[in-house]
């Protein structure tokens, strides 16, 4: 039986009201023509002395405000009806998610599965992905009891950090109409280029599916053994219909296009292959964390003055080369119609590479000053970035 939005909200509210079994609630996204008081609200029950209260953590996009509410005074129906387009309620034996369409219809997704209640009042950072998510066991981050292994805490932190960067960018891209609202017929397509062991590929898949978003995820890595391993994990999780893996070179992939492109620590110019593929296929949202940068380092033979000051020291020259490479990548994205940001991304324990380029395709035509700036930089350093060789840079650029 199909529920109306009010009926779905009422069911979600009953799950929230049962604080003995409630694990957490996440409200995010915005319904058409509605404003919300926070970008995202996380709610969970916590034990305060003898009683249980609901802890609300409201994120306004810049900072988090925490408050505790007596469950008897919590007007859940009003909050759930106040304009959020994604409602996730997790309880000890499963979850319910509601995604509200542009026509205010509820798309409801229910899942069975155990979740653990954490009533500890200490400020536990609210997690986007439950420690007990079966994928964490399958990829070896959590043990058989669904607890993150002490030796894999860094990887778990990286997974969480990545979801925190992906989720709001995706929600605002859908809200702003840069990405079409996904449907079962046209799911959101995501490709992870250079996916390796696919920790982050599976994390994105599990998290977005839990939110009830129709998605199709493809992980690409040149190594056949990665494909075999990752596909086996997908089979064990029973998610073969919404995630697949291919053993291909990024630059030669047979994939036709994607809404979202992820490339995290793909080696050297594999990052340029990934950005070029995204630009050439007009991907809408990019999350790129570059890795080692040899391409420009090799080309930086003659150092313009007064930059000798930095470049005479090997370590500083290397960092300067990394920065120039990434600054030029960002500029090329800008000239190709993307709005870009550079943000910090937690590297895992073995990598100091903690920069992430987040870009959204707006199709804006860059002005001539930005074009000139790019060419001046190339002339000054006498370099041609690998990325420029892989795309048609001046297509649609104002000269």
Ligand X SMILES: C[S@@+](CC[C@H](N)C(=O)[O-])C[C@H]1O[C@@H](n2cnc3c(N)ncnc32)[C@H](O)[C@@H]1O
Across-strand partners of 87?
27, 98
Determine if 277 is a binding residue for ligand X (CB under 6 A).
Answer: no
**Phi, psi dihedrals of residue 4, rounded to the nearest 5°:** -80, 170
User: How many helices (DSSP H) and strands (DSSP E) are in the chain?
Assistant: 12, 14
Nearer to ligand X, 83 or 196 (CB): 196
Nearer to ligand X, 90 or 161 (CB): 161
Count CA atoms within 13 Å of residue 8 on its CB side. Answer: 24
Determine if 195 is a binding residue for ligand X (CB under 6 A).
Answer: yes
Nearer to ligand X, 111 or 138 (CB): 138
Q: Are 266 and 198 in contact, with CB atoms under 8 Å apart?
A: no
| Beta-strand relationship, 355-361 and 338-344 | antiparallel
Determine if 345 is a binding residue for ligand X (CB under 6 A).
Answer: no
Determine if 287 is a binding residue for ligand X (CB under 6 A).
Answer: no
Nearer to ligand X, 165 or 174 (CB): 165
To which residue do tokens 């380029």 refer? Answer: 357
Determine if 266 is a binding residue for ligand X (CB under 6 A).
Answer: yes
Q: 2-36: b or e for each residue (b if 16 or more CB lie within 10 Å)?
A: eeebeebbebbbebbeebeebbbbbbbbbbeeeeb
Under rule CB under 6 A, which residues in 215-244 are in contact with ligand X? Answer: 221-223, 226
Instruction: Candidates 224, 249, 344, 370: give the one binding ligand X (CB under 6 A).
Output: 249
Which residue stretch of 40-48, 192-200, 276-284, 313-321 sits at the interface with ligand X (rule: CB under 6 A)? Answer: 192-200
Nearer to ligand X, 100 or 285 (CB): 285
Determine if 199 is a binding residue for ligand X (CB under 6 A).
Answer: yes
**Which of 272, 320, 322 is CA-nearest to residue 293?**
322
Task: Please tell me the distance from the alpha carbon of residue 130 to that of residue 106, in angstroms, as a whole number.
Answer: 24
Determine if 264 is a binding residue for ligand X (CB under 6 A).
Answer: yes
CB of 129 to ligand X, least distance (A): 15
CB of 293 to ligand X, least distance (A): 14
- Considering Cα of 336, then 341, then 342, then 348, what sign does the dihedral take? negative
CB of 214 to ligand X, least distance (A): 24
# residues contacting ligand X (CB under 6 A): 17
Site residues (CB under 6 A) for ligand X? 194-196, 199-200, 221-223, 226, 249-250, 264-267, 270, 273
């Amino acid at each position: 039986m199909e529920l109306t939005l009010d009926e779905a909200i009422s069911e979600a509210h009953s799950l929230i009201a049962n604080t003995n079994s409630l694990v957490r609630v996440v409200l995010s996204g915005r319904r058409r023509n509605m404003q919300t008081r926070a970008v995202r609200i996380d709610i969970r029950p916590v034990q305060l002395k003898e009683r249980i209260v609901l802890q609300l953590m409201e994120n306004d996009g810049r900072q988090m405000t925490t408050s505790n509410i007596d469950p008897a005074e919590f007007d859940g129906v009003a909050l759930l009806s106040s304009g959020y387009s994604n409602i996730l309620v997790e309880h000890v034996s499963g979850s319910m998610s509601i995604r509200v369409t542009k026509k205010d219809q509820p798309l409801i997704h229910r899942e069975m599965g155990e979740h653990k209640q954490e009533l500890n009042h200490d400020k536990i950072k609210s997690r986007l992905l439950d420690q007990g998510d079966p994928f964490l066991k399958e990829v070896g981050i959590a043990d058989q009891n669904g607890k993150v292994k002490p030796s894999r805490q860094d990887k778990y932190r990286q997974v969480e950090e990545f979801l925190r960067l992906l989720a709001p960018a995706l929600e605002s891209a859908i809200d702003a109409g840069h990405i079409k609202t996904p449907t079962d017929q046209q799911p959101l397509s995501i490709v992870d280029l250079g996916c390796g062991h696919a920790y982050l590929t599976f994390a994105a898949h599990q998290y977005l599916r839990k939110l009830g978003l129709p998605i199709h995820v493809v992980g690409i890595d040149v190594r056949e053994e990665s494909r075999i391993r990752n596909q086996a994990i997908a089979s064990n999780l029973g998610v073969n219909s919404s995630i697949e893996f291919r053993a291909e070179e990024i630059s030669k992939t047979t994939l036709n296009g994607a809404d979202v492109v992820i490339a995290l620590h793909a080696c050297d110019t594999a990052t340029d292959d990934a950005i070029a593929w995204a630009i050439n296929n007009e991907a809408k949202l990019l999350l790129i964390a570059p890795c080692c940068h040899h391409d420009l380092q090799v080309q930086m033979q003659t150092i313009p003055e007064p930059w000798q000051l930095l470049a005479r020291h090997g370590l500083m020259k290397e960092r300067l080369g990394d920065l120039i490479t990434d600054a030029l990548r960002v500029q090329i994205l800008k000239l190709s119609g993307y709005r870009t940001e550079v943000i910090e991304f937690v590297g895992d324990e073995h990598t100091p590479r903690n920069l992430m380029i987040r870009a959204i395709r707006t199709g804006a035509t860059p002005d001539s000053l930005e074009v000139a700036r790019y060419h001046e930089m190339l002339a000054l350093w006498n370099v041609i970035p690998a990325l420029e060789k892989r795309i048609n840079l001046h297509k649609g650029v104002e000269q």
